[in-house]
Amino acid sequence: MIQKTEKQALLDWEEFLEGIRNSTPVDINETEEEKAKRIAFLEKEGNEEEWFKYYFPKYSFAKPAKFHVESAKRFIYTKRIAQSRKWARGLSKSTRRMFEVFYLTFAKKFKTNMLLISKSEDNAVRLLSPYKGNLEANQRLINDYGVQEKPGSWSEYEFVTRGKCAFRAVGADQNPRGSRLDELRVTIIVFDDVDDDEVCRNPERVDQRFTWIQKAVLPTVDISGDYRIAFDNNVIAENCCTLRFAQYANDDETVNIRDEYGKSVWREKNSEADIDDMLRLLSYEAAQGEYFNNPISKGKVFTEMTYGKCPPMEDLPFVIIYADPSPSNKDKPSLKSKAKNSCKAVSIIGPLNLKYYLYKCFVDVTTNYTFIEWLYAARDYVVQQSKGKVQVYVYIENNTLQDPFYQQVLLPLIFEIGKERRDVLGVTPDDRDKPDKYFRIEGTLEPLNRLGQFIMNIEEKDDPHMKRMETQFLSVSPQSKTMDGPDSVEGGVHIAKNKVFITDEPGNGIMMVKRKTSSKRY
């Protein structure tokens, strides 16, 4: 059985090599003069993408995006770079890196002594195999730069070319020492798929792995030489080596599957339909981690949410529509980012008999225009459900640092959409000086949820927005970066509590008393 497996592996490898050979034909009638002229053109600075496309047509089936081109130039032309690419799945992290390493090796005559580091040795070997395969079988590389395979120094774990360029696969926590090639120390380190789900669940193991990276791997380069260090991994956990390395990188970039305008960042390869089809197969948590560099882990504050039937809206004393434009607290919006996307939330909250009902919500990464459309949709929903028989209050979070954004971006959109509808929405800015988001949500909403006094509309349970709201509640923690939905609920509940005090008094029904502001309360 083992022999059969080894035989099959050899057959698969030969098939892989044959695919490379077939995809890289050369012009046998090309003269030496024409060949030299072509190579000179391809190697000319500014023609890097032409070089990639010519030598790797098998991989270059889609035109590169702008972020691909700019990142490649920085990696190639920065003599000492520590580059962090937090690119989403499907954005060609590993393939692009191979292009760049080979460009340095052949076009720039860089003395390559490379370590490819991954979460395991097997994974490192797998990721290094395209390098080995192209050095063996890429007819265009061989035709222009000579035969690369060197007998006696050629294994799947480590290989040295005839031009004395070395490539070695190293699994996490293995010993990378002794990677010197004659007098040449390591000149390129590529970390690819180093973070592991199991390891990231244990903070001590993450500490150990990153300590290994800093103490055992990084010092393999020559401190006074030219070197390239790359860390290619989407962010899979709130505590991971990827985020830690980014703190030390002198070139740190985060690219999600969709840009700040909600469009595919690589439209030439990933269409909107392609992205939608994939996201439809994934939970909100999985999609955020794999495609938006926003890992969501289960918190301990809210372990489960309560769903139930909401009372008729006309029975409520009033309804609060609360909108969180995000960012908030430490992540303040700037006027420069007014057109960009962020996770935003609108919640429709109704209080009755000491309970707070979340009738409907809108929670998603979206534009400011859509966010304001949500506000109008929320008001329409209340009017329809209550037949116009309940008072509606609409609030938008607007602390001191957000005020220019509210005045210069959101208000004009409110009037623009209102003018189109011939019905301008009345909105009150919530200028409360809020304490930390996590502590607000925990202090205000956790007791209500635990006592069954915060109820989410059972009729909306399968709505994507309500699902995202529940996911964000269940992931609430001091480290969580995605709490915009719960934050909007907290804002609405806080206003409701201060607007009316509800008591059950026989014969008197419901009494509404305006609460006096206390200087000792937030």
Domain ranges of the chain: 2-255, 307-511
Strand residues in 288-403 grouped as ranges (E): 307-308, 319-324, 342-352, 355-366, 392-397
189 CB-side CA count, 13 A: 32
The two structure tokens encoding residue 480? 């969580």
- Contacts of residue 249, defined as CB under 8 A and 6 or more positions apart, other chains included, come to 82, 83, 84, 231
> Which CATH number describes the domain made up of 307-511?
3.30.420.320
- Would you state the pLDDT for residue 503? 39
Place of tokens 């303040």: 332
Distances (CA, A) of 145 to 139, 235, 433: 10, 37, 65
> What is the rounded CA–CA span in Å between residue 324 and residue 343?
9
- Contacts of residue 54, defined as CB under 8 A and 6 or more positions apart, other chains included, come to 42, 140
The two structure tokens encoding residue 502? 């509800």
> What is the rounded CA–CA span in Å between residue 291 and residue 172?
24
> What is the rounded CA–CA span in Å between residue 390 and residue 387?
8
> What is the rounded CA–CA span in Å between residue 356 and residue 443?
15
Query: Which H or E run includes 232?
Result: strand 227-232
Backbone angles phi, psi at 491, to 5 degrees: -60, -45
DSSP-assigned states of every residue in 453-466: -EEEEGGGTTSHHH
Task: Check residue 260 and report its DSSP letter.
Answer: T
CB-based contact 476:442 (threshold 8 Å):
yes
- Would you state the pLDDT for residue 253? 97
> What is the rounded CA–CA span in Å between residue 221 and residue 228?
9
> Which CATH number describes the domain made up of 2-255?
3.40.50.300
3 state SS of 417: helix
How confident is the prediction along the chain (522 residues), in pLDDT tens digits per residue? 344 577 888 888 999 999 999 999 999 999 999 999 999 999 999 999 999 999 999 999 999 999 999 999 999 999 999 999 999 999 999 999 999 999 999 999 999 999 999 999 999 999 999 999 999 999 999 999 999 998 888 999 999 999 999 999 999 989 887 666 766 899 999 999 999 988 998 989 999 999 999 999 999 999 999 999 999 999 998 889 999 999 999 999 999 999 988 899 999 999 999 999 998 888 777 888 899 998 877 777 898 999 999 999 999 999 999 999 975 433 333 333 333 457 899 999 999 998 999 999 999 988 889 999 999 999 999 999 999 999 999 999 987 655 677 888 888 999 999 888 888 899 999 988 877 888 889 989 999 999 999 999 999 999 999 999 999 999 888 878 788 999 999 999 999 998 865 434 444 444 444 445 545 443
Strand residues in 405-514 grouped as ranges (E): 428-430, 454-457, 503-505, 509-511
> What is the rounded CA–CA span in Å between residue 363 and residue 484?
8
Same topology, domains 2-255 and 307-511? Answer is no
Amino acid at 204: E
